[in-house]
């Protein structure tokens, strides 16, 4: 059964169990999806408010620091952001399943050929790296919703950014924890570099999101 169709309680029970999966990677993916959902929620509320501010009606000055922003332009920008958050939320739930499948396959490969174990190890490393990169995509978009979102809802976007930041860094940690098992020095170097770049970008995007809130 896919994790996306489980209740929250059932998912937590499956983590706190003798089973090996779901573990860190799947959990990070679900937390990142929650962060994306919070940012998406702020987009929805702001778009609804912007829709109420027609050309013949009032403009909400809380949309911007410098003065009233065109409500239609705000709605257009956040429609794009909402699509990004929704797409990444769905992607992360798919990755939660993929991570568990990759770990289960790796554990089942103890007696398999070395080439098979190597391929499965690389997949068990690649999935959490993809989770981290998905979290980065969410954080790259977060400053837009923090800057343009309706003021009363922006704290929820910030909470979403905190969750996504933690999930992204946790996924990078998972990558590094499993990297030595790949048995391929060139692959390990490539992935380690990619993980380091992703980690730095996650931190930078998170700081940009917090800066956007403080200068709003």
- Give the model's pLDDT for residue 183: 84
Asked if residues 138 and 85 have their Cβ atoms less than 8 Å apart, the reply is yes
CATH code, 22-214: 1.20.120.680
Which pLDDT band holds residue 63 (cuts at 50, 70, 90)?
Answer: very low
CA 153, CA 147: separation in Å to the nearest integer? 11
CA 194, CA 69: separation in Å to the nearest integer? 39
Q: Is 48 exposed, middle or buried (0-12, 13-18, 19+ CB in 10 A)?
A: exposed
Least confident of 54-58, 113-117, 162-166: 54-58
- Taking the domains of the chain in order of start, what are their residue ranges? 22-214
pTM: 0.89
Q: Is 183 left (phi over 0), alpha (psi -120 to 50) or beta?
A: left
CA 105, CA 99: separation in Å to the nearest integer? 10
CA 14, CA 30: separation in Å to the nearest integer? 13
N- to C-terminal Cα separation, the chain: 43
Tens of pLDDT, residues 47-58: 988 766 544 344
Instruction: Say yes or no to pLDDT of 193 above 90.
Output: yes
């Amino acid at each position: 059964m896919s994790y996306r169709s489980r209740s929250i309680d059932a998912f937590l029970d499956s983590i706190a169990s003798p089973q090996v999966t779901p573990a860190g990677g799947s959990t990070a993916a679900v937390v990142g999806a929650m962060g994306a959902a919070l940012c998406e929620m702020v987009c929805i509320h702001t778009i609804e408010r912007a829709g109420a501010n027609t050309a013949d009606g009032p403009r909400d000055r809380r949309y911007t620091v410098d003065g009233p922003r065109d409500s239609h332009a705000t709605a257009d920008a956040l429609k794009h952001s909402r699509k990004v958050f929704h797409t990444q939320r769905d992607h992360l739930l798919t990755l939660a399943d993929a991570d568990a499948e990759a770990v289960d396959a790796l554990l089942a490969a103890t007696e398999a050929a070395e080439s098979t174990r190597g391929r499965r190890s690389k997949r068990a490393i690649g999935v959490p790296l993809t989770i981290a990169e998905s979290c980065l995509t969410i954080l790259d978009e977060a400053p837009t919703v923090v800057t343009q979102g309706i003021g009363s809802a922006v704290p929820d976007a910030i909470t979403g950014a905190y969750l996504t930041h933690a999930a992204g860094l946790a996924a990078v940690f998972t990558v590094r924890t499993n990297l030595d098992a790949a048995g391929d020095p060139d692959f390990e170097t490539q992935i380690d570099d990619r993980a380091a770049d992703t980690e730095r970008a996650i931190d930078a995007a998170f700081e940009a999101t917090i800066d956007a809130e403080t200068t709003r």
